[in-house]
Amino acid sequence: MRAARLVTPLVLTAHGSADPRSAANARAVADQVARLRPGLDVRVAFCEHNSPGLADVLESCAGEAIVTPLLLADAYHARVDIPNQISACGVSQRVRQAEVLGEDDRLVSVLRHRVAELSVSRLDDTVGVLVVAIGSSNPAANARTAEVAPKVAVGTRWTAVATAFATRPELPLDEAVDRLRRQGAARVVIAPWFLAPGRIPDRVERFARDADALMASPLGAHRLVAATVLDRFDQAAAERIAA
């Protein structure tokens, strides 16, 4: 496995965004990964909007590569978009795709830390926390994301926690906040299940201001985000060797 870690490039693949802060965050995560694993060949690629594109990066890899998605949800981009781009390059035989970051406990701890940065105590029983994610047309992906909120609340005395999706109509943000307040929350904190700043997080932030709610920062380029990326890479590398 050690040889695979040193030789096989980790192609950190983000969705991409018209907002430059998103691409900057992907590069910052890549820098963190490289610091955690000196000698590892870490390359950044984007599915759309930003350069370099995934196809260009894969074509620059002389041999095998492991595409490691910088994605939280196992939804369209992980299941369809990235595999299709790999296939279109004609490099499927030498490229393995790692799993998404998912609802990893390390990321949940980062989200809890982001809430704490707002001076919100775990022991404050007047607080209600709304975990807001982008959302997917895949109900199974949304169901997995909904597991984050109760995990965040473990070890706290918060009044209530809930989940809402910024791009899905099932539970609008205002209704989710109202529900938390009906459950007894005097203060509402929005915990964004986003990796980076961007247009959708900005829209959620505007909503938070209008709703008199606090909003934490996205997960960002935290060391534990990079550690989770490395874990997904290592799993895929081990599977490649075992195959």
Report the CATH number that the domain containing residue 55 is assigned in CATH. Answer: 3.40.50.1400
Q: How confident is the model at residue 243 (pLDDT cuts 50, 70, 90)?
A: low
Average pLDDT over the chain, rounded to an integer: 93
- pLDDT average, residue stretch 165-177: 87
Q: pTM of the prediction?
A: 0.93
pLDDT value of residue 57: 96
Instruction: Check whether residue 97 and residue 110 sit in a common domain.
Output: no
pLDDT one-digit tens code per residue, 85-142:
999 988 878 899 999 999 999 999 999 999 999 999 999 999 999 999 999 989 999 9
Identify the domain containing residue 77 by its residue range: 10-102+222-239
Q: Is residue 231 part of a domain?
A: yes
Instruction: Check whether residue 94 and residue 111 sit in a common domain.
Output: no
Q: Is residue 3 part of a domain?
A: no
pLDDT one-digit tens code per residue, 29-57:
999 999 999 999 999 999 999 999 999 99
Report the CATH number that the domain containing residue 194 is assigned in CATH. Answer: 3.40.50
Domain count, the chain: 2
- pLDDT average, residue stretch 150-178: 92
Instruction: Check whether residue 131 and residue 201 sit in a common domain.
Output: yes
Q: Is residue 4 part of a domain?
A: no
pLDDT one-digit tens code per residue, 192-204:
999 999 999 999 9
pLDDT value of residue 168: 79
Instruction: Check whether residue 201 and residue 116 sit in a common domain.
Output: yes
Instruction: Check whether residue 227 and residue 152 sit in a common domain.
Output: no
Instruction: Check whether residue 112 and residue 177 sit in a common domain.
Output: yes
Instruction: Check whether residue 19 and residue 96 sit in a common domain.
Output: yes
Terminal-to-terminal C-alpha distance of the chain = 13
